[in-house]
Structure 1
Amino acid sequence: MGVGRSSGYNQEPGTTVTLEQTEVNGAVTSLVRRTVHPSGLRIVTEQMAGVRSAAVGVFIGVGSRDETARQHGCSHFLEHLLFKGTPSRTALEISSSMDRVGGEFNAYTAKEYTCFHARVLDVDLPLAIDVVGDMLTSSLITAEDVEAERDVILDEIAMHDDDPDDVIHNLVAAQAWGAETPLGRGIAGTEASITALTREEINDFYQEHYVAPRMVVSVAGNVDHDEVVAMVEKAFSGSGFLTASAAPVPPREGSPLEVAAGEISAQRPLEQVNVILAREGLQRGDDRRFAFEVVNTAVGGATSSRLFQEVREHRGLAYSVYSYAYSHAETGLFGVQVGCLPAKLDEVLEVVRSELAAVARDGITAEELELGKGQLRGGLVLGLEDSASRMSRIGRAELVHRELYSIDEVLARIDAVTLEDCREVAAEILTRPEILAVVGPA
């Protein structure tokens, strides 16, 4: 595949390429372009016809898995602190500037990256880019702000510990990759790790990781690429951020990580018991992911799926039951999550295991294949109807993937999935050793 479609780490700094162009009746409805700044900062845009909004996201290639044990929770702590003020804006001015134009503004930390994102009217895009650029390049991170935000994060950790859904997914990760490993640790940190972090450690983390070659600025909506590049160059010029010449950091790679099977549990005073049956899934770049998405949809990804019909509709064992799959660079997980009354747990586990074994043995049916494809096609297209979702698609693809598929190409890959593809990948994944995680009453 040529440089125009691969990730920008292969592109010569100082150049601009067109990645994707969609036309309907001779009119351009979508145009995706990318500029690699000499500093290594990547700027990718999607010009969308017929919209009056614009969304901007800055994806930074650092997340909780990049932390040492001492730094546990630092990525998330830093995300909070970057809203606290710069030499030219106070925390109130940052928030009020976006409120004044009716904008949406937020951020989140994942295990492999951090994202700051905003959605505004197209005429207010210069403001949004200026605010985000100022925050990411010139934040003060004062000692006073660190202490004030420390208490907020400790409250957030306590809140997550009261949420059985958060608890059980953290348990699964801890069992899969080890509670003291970067992937196995929770994103927010622990009470001990957050209490121990100093202002100097957080600022050092900021200076090390928030650099141009690790960043992707993604913008979608009623935008012009060249105008966006000019806005970004102005907004990100603070503190000499764009001065040094560098190549973009390539997408994350690594040797395959094994998933450790076993049982893990946590007691909580709940009326229900929450359970996940998980096993090793596919790595992010695995070409079989399209077939496995169809399998996942047939197993538990829709209301017509086997598990929803058998566990909820036919037997009335649980209100909530679904399956999921997600991937990292060198590993992944597939899981089934159920919430049920404690007295029904044994029967729920028996039914789930029986259905998974049947799919592993026999594959899915032709009807399930078509239903799964239809569900994936509809979910993909309907989920990309607004500027924010388009911004997220191209930003994440640029940062964590080695190539950008057009929507039509993804649809073609889904349509190309066969029953044999599904049977082969199901036979491999659904027979792998099992993780059982349980959160509920004693």
Structure 2
Amino acid sequence: MAVLANNASGSVPDTSSGTGPLAVSHENPTGPSSILLPLVPTPAPTADGSPAAQDPTLVAGTLGGVVVRRSVLPGGVRVLTEAMPGQRSATIGFWVGVGSRDEAEGQHGSTHFLEHLLFKGTTRRTALEIAEAFDEVGGESNAATAKEHTCYFARVLDADLPMAIDVIADMVTSAVIDADELEQERDVILEEIAMDSDDPADVAHEEFVEAVLGSHPLGRPIGGTPEAIKAVPRESVLDHYRRYYRPSELVVTAAGGLDHEVVCSLVLDALRTAGWTLEEDALPVARRSDTPVAIESTGGIRVIRRAVEQANILVGCPSITATDERRFVMSVLNAVLGGGMSSRLFQEIREKRGLVYSTYSFSASYADAGYFAMYAGCSPAKTGQVIDLLGAELDRLAADGISADELRRAVGQLSGGMVMALEDSGSRMSRLGRAELVSGEFLGLDEVLARVNAVTKKQVRELAAELAAAPRTITVVGPFDTPADFGH
């Protein structure tokens, strides 16, 4: 599970760092179509242990009526917007660059816990009043916790954007975190974890990430464990809130029918109303270091017994980071190997052999680490055979590479998907946040498509060979006690 949403009824924008290009469209007809913001390595912490600041970079550009702008406000608050002419709605997101990987010992699960609690009332609004504010205008609000960030977002009519900014700013700055509400929400989160534990596919993914990333903080479950949630005290959640929810950590992104200067003004007014001190010369905190860390994975098989009718299988290894230039190659590799009905995994394991209903490949990339995986769900009796076939397809890709037709189809699939995604304001809002917090790179759509089109068969084969040579981690959830039960 890459992202945990606050409520099941709302739609969650894609806040994960997956295989697709992680840059945000930024076009300028009078200059380059891409602007690279400085990927500043994280400096040594300040005396109080907080991250050091980074220099702000302000950018703006236009193309065909589309405008992407970035401003650094007093306090170091960053605001990024993308105007979509003709849109009658807008999506706004308040991001904090803290996720489950940042939790200290004794605070595991605090990030997701806090995300829930911010909907439970502020010094100005009750939980019901927060919900009513969006319901009475037909809006949608939600939040999502990921491994490296948290986002509170809403989609409303353009006329209701001031309300959305005011309410979310109130939640982010002035949450009460009442002791009784915390205990009640503790039970809600335990039920959420129990629900996820009843989903064997979800269990397989969580167990795989823990197995493949080992002791790296990215390997921890976003929501925490039942034991951690039962044990975390209110003071730990409050400490997490005070440490990370501050102006220099805040990123506000918006897309749709909007005006950048108006959004900046509304954000400033809302934060000042909440009582935040916004110093004129304050700078944003630095982005995370993008220096890859060595994941000491030795591979192996992890078996989780569940009395289920279908075994859930994941096979994979550590992989590239979110800013690795090969992320475009990885996108093409996944499209060929397991990205659709014409992919190799689907054709070989489902269409040709009829062994599975679902099979695919994917990768997840973060600031300093990542992983690649192939998934399949099959009859327990076929588990060993399917594991072998997953590995064999990766090995074949590494040995023989891909054909010109496969490369052409993969590029077309990725290009079409990216263009269609731009029709949605939620996707654009989310891309702005990921670019600011992770990559620091704004690429025009033409540049993104050019990079995908520039991927070669040789590059795909080389990356596949690297993946195939890595120690292989296998996770199986099914009616088994040991790998010997399915012939491994």
- TM-based fold match above 0.5: yes
Which position in structure 1 is the counterpart of 2:26? none
Amino acid at match of 1:373: V
Cα distance in 2 between the residues matched to 1:4 and 1:376 = 22
Which position in structure 2 is the counterpart of 1:6? 37
Cα distance in 1 between the residues matched to 2:250 and 2:398 = 41
Cα distance in 2 between the residues matched to 1:115 and 1:105 = 11
Whether the aligned pair in 1 keeps the contact of 2:54 and 2:286 (CA below 8 Å) is: no
Structure 1 residue 122 corresponds to structure 2 residue 164: no
Q: 1:197-212 to 2 correspondence within 5 Å?
A: 197-212=232-247
Cα distance in 2 between the residues matched to 1:169 and 1:385 = 30
Cα distance in 2 between the residues matched to 1:238 and 1:182 = 36
Q: 1:295-306 to 2 correspondence within 5 Å?
A: 295-306=333-344
Q: Cα deviations across residues 266-293 of structure 1 (Å, max 9, x unaligned)?
A: 1111100000001121111111111121
Which position in structure 2 is the counterpart of 1:221? 256
Which position in structure 1 is the counterpart of 2:230? 195
Cα distance in 2 between the residues matched to 1:259 and 1:212 = 36
Q: 1:36-75 to 2 correspondence within 5 Å?
A: 36-75=72-111
TM-score norm. by structure 2 comes to 0.86
Whether the aligned pair in 2 keeps the contact of 1:8 and 1:248 (CA below 8 Å) is: no
Amino acid at match of 2:263: V
After TM superposition, which residue ranges in structure 1, 4 or more long, deviate above 3 angstroms? 1-5, 7-13
5+ residue gaps, structure 2, are 1-31, 41-52, 481-488
Match of 2:294 among 253, 257, 262: 257
Q: Cα deviations across residues 105-147 of structure 1 (Å, max 9, x unaligned)?
A: 0001001000111001111100000000000001111111111
1:410 shift after superposition:
0.7
Cα distance in 2 between the residues matched to 1:112 and 1:11 = 18
Match of 1:105 among 138, 141, 144: 141
Whether the aligned pair in 1 keeps the contact of 2:33 and 2:446 (CA below 8 Å) is: no
1:5 shift after superposition:
4.3
Q: 1:88-103 to 2 correspondence within 5 Å?
A: 88-103=124-139
Match of 1:233 among 268, 284, 287: 268
Which position in structure 2 is the counterpart of 1:391? 429
Q: 1:4-403 to 2 correspondence within 5 Å?
A: 5-6=36-37, 16-18=58-60, 20-23=61-64, 28=65, 30-178=66-214, 181-244=216-279, 245-253=281-289, 254-260=291-297, 261-403=299-441
Cα distance in 2 between the residues matched to 1:238 and 1:438 = 52
Cα distance in 1 between the residues matched to 2:34 and 2:442 = 11
1:7 shift after superposition:
5.8
Q: SS of the residue aligned with 2:76?
A: coil
- Structure possessing the higher relative contact order (Cα contacts under 8 Å, 6 or more residues apart): 2
1:79 shift after superposition:
0.1
Cα distance in 1 between the residues matched to 2:321 and 2:358 = 27
Amino acid at match of 1:227: V
User: Aligned Cα RMSD in Å?
Assistant: 1.9
Amino acid at match of 2:287: P
Amino acid at match of 1:252: R
Whether the aligned pair in 1 keeps the contact of 2:34 and 2:442 (CA below 8 Å) is: no
Q: SS of the residue aligned with 1:243?
A: coil
1:375 shift after superposition:
0.6
When residues 308 and 217 of structure 1 are mapped into structure 2, their CA distance, relative to the original with a 3 A threshold, is same
Amino acid at match of 1:257: A
When residues 233 and 3 of structure 1 are mapped into structure 2, their CA distance, relative to the original with a 3 A threshold, is farther
Deviates more, 1:269-278 or 1:416-425: 416-425
Whether the aligned pair in 1 keeps the contact of 2:35 and 2:442 (CA below 8 Å) is: no
When residues 21 and 8 of structure 1 are mapped into structure 2, their CA distance, relative to the original with a 3 A threshold, is farther
1:431 shift after superposition:
2.2
Cα distance in 2 between the residues matched to 1:402 and 1:388 = 19
Deviates more, 1:86-95 or 1:197-206: 197-206
Amino acid at match of 2:456: T
Cα distance in 2 between the residues matched to 1:340 and 1:267 = 15
Cα distance in 2 between the residues matched to 1:379 and 1:3 = 20
1:11 shift after superposition:
8.0
1:246 shift after superposition:
2.4
Q: 1:403-422 to 2 correspondence within 5 Å?
A: 403-422=441-460
1:17 shift after superposition:
3.1
1:345 shift after superposition:
1.1
Cα distance in 2 between the residues matched to 1:246 and 1:169 = 41
Q: Cα deviations across residues 213-256 of structure 1 (Å, max 9, x unaligned)?
A: 11210011110000000010011224532424521122211442
1:361 shift after superposition:
0.7
Cα distance in 1 between the residues matched to 2:398 and 2:201 = 27
Q: SS of the residue aligned with 1:183?
A: helix
Q: Cα deviations across residues 164-220 of structure 1 (Å, max 9, x unaligned)?
A: 122111111211222x54211111111111111121211111000111111210011
Q: Cα deviations across residues 296-332 of structure 1 (Å, max 9, x unaligned)?
A: 1100111100110000001000000000011111111
Whether the aligned pair in 2 keeps the contact of 1:8 and 1:42 (CA below 8 Å) is: no
Number of equivalent positions: 434
1:16 shift after superposition:
4.9
Whether the aligned pair in 2 keeps the contact of 1:8 and 1:398 (CA below 8 Å) is: no
Q: Using the aligned pairs only, state the percent identity.
A: 49
Q: Cα deviations across residues 382-415 of structure 1 (Å, max 9, x unaligned)?
A: 1121111111111111111121112221111011
Amino acid at match of 1:349: I
Q: SS of the residue aligned with 1:49?
A: coil
